[in-house]
Chains A and B, each alone.
Chain A
């Protein structure tokens, strides 16, 4: 390249270019780790009480299980909301495809139950706190393709630091 012709300015430009390039490579690497190995996210809200507190909680998550089809009933997953594609929600997987799920659509009427078979390629999600959770009882079964990640370690608040896989 013609950097030598610019003299001292040329060496600044060259160094600036190299530093930027190294930074870009570093961010690419961080991004790939985030997409394929370990990622982090913060949960908020009361819908998963008592398992997850309603104050902001920082988790480490992995995307491997969702991608390879290894998430099952009972797992807590982070799923892209079918009502607002910009938001992600944390819920528990209650039913996989072809399961029969019996649920109470309205917590105020605990005697009225409904039964549904989860369609192929879909899952049924519910929050642990049935009174405050907006989940499959409201918007129906969601396609498996919307599952993004699964938490495996709770980081903050510091008093809750520790593993988070058998909840």
Chain B
């Protein structure tokens, strides 16, 4: 008899555990959809985007809708999967769309300005701090398919909350 009552208790606990797990799974699914398709937070650090973003780290929100609809354009801040290390994401500004002729200046290669034409399906990205940024001036134009999202809002540090500057 005791065995029966233990089993009944166990069944009750197992059912409750299943229900709680189902709720947790549904919540994580919703979180994943939001993170992948709508908006996700990103932590940016490094000197390549001074003065727009500071060196020690900013937390920004990036939306993933514009790049799917093809609405990313010149001057946008974008999160891009790095062409030299696919595990890393970098945040830079778009300075040329496909078909554009980009004139750029790389302080590490002297004073000459160079010209490049952005091929079809690619974009030219540069950091705002041209003296300390590894970008398209070094690894060339990147395919549009590597763009992961567009930065539209900064949430940290608290005294700079708002839309990042131009």
User: Taking beta carbons and an 8 Å cutoff, which residues of A are in contact with B?
Assistant: 25, 28-29, 31-32, 35, 69, 80-86, 119-122, 139, 142-146
Instruction: Decide: B85 and A82 in contact? CB cutoff 8 A.
Output: no
Known: A35-B36, A121-B86, A145-B81. A82 touches B143 (CB 8 A): yes
A residues within 8 A CB of B26?
A: 25, 28-29
Residue of A nearest to B139 (CB): A119
Cβ of B142 under 8 Å from chain A: yes
Instruction: Decide: A80 and B143 in contact? CB cutoff 8 A.
Output: yes
CB distance from A112 to the nearest CB of B (A): 23
CB distance from A136 to the nearest CB of B (A): 13
Cβ of B122 under 8 Å from chain A: yes
B residues within 8 A CB of A86?
A: 70
Instruction: Decide: B120 and A84 in contact? CB cutoff 8 A.
Output: yes
Known: A28-B26, A31-B33, A80-B145. A145 touches B86 (CB 8 A): yes
* A85→B145 CA distance, assembly (Å): 5
Show 9 A/B contacts (Cβ-Cβ < 8 Å), sorted by A: A28-B33, A82-B145, A83-B120, A85-B144, A121-B86, A139-B119, A143-B84, A145-B81, A145-B82
Instruction: Decide: A121 and B121 in contact? CB cutoff 8 A.
Output: no
Residue of B nearest to A29 (CB): B29
User: Taking beta carbons and an 8 Å cutoff, which residues of B are in contact with A?
Assistant: 26, 29-30, 32-33, 36, 70, 81-87, 119-122, 139, 142-146
* A119→B140 CA distance, assembly (Å): 12
Instruction: Decide: A28 and B83 in contact? CB cutoff 8 A.
Output: no
Instruction: Decide: B143 and A142 in contact? CB cutoff 8 A.
Output: yes
Instruction: Decide: B36 and A146 in contact? CB cutoff 8 A.
Output: no
B residues within 8 A CB of A28?
A: 26, 29-30, 32-33
- A120's partner among B85, B142, B144, B146 (CB-CB below 8 A) is B85
Residue of A nearest to B80 (CB): A145
